[in-house]
Amino acid sequence: MKLILASSSPYRRELLERLQLPFSTISPEVDETPLAGETPNQTALRLAQAKARKVAESHPDALVIGCDQVATLEGLQLGKPLTHDNAVKQLRLVRGRIVNFHSAMCLYNPQTGNMQAEDVVYEVKFRMLSDSQIENYLVREQPYHCAGSAKSEGLGIALIEWMRGDDPNALIGLPLIRLISMLEKEGVAVI
């Protein structure tokens, strides 16, 4: 079966390339607004599944990987800032604090209807950043389409005091360790 990554993220694409499997990418058009009363876990899982289903509508013969990431600080969802001002506010809010990144992923087989989905949580403690450090980082990296306003795979690593979780790839948005297990259940051997 063909493998499709339902994402426009170049970082997720780079991660999936590590598995050395042929795949293509398609950007799903899905409204990412959280629903009222939805937990971060529920939001991330719902959106990952919605993205996979959306791509599968036009590619029913493929295995589709859907992903979504929601950053939370004490239950408050921190979405993609989209603007410089919003990113400044987010990074001021998280400095010196622990943020949980919910990296939901699903593997959908539209031929069988089998949907494997999991939320992999990664904890990040941000350094106590000065306003000038925040501004310098944002000018240099411009992480306006990243949950929580930080890209750990780039200069954002300088914002972080420590990280904790089962899959280091989850923080970038594609938990490869879990994905390998899901692919094996669908008969796709990585090695």
Residues designated as active site: 68
Residue type, 35: L
Give the integer Cα–Cα distance in Å for 20 and 29.
27
Q: Are 80 and 145 in contact (CB under 8 A)?
A: yes
Q: Which residues pair with 121 in a beta bridge?
A: 102
Give the integer Cα–Cα distance in Å for 134 and 89.
10
Element (H, E) at 54: helix 40-58
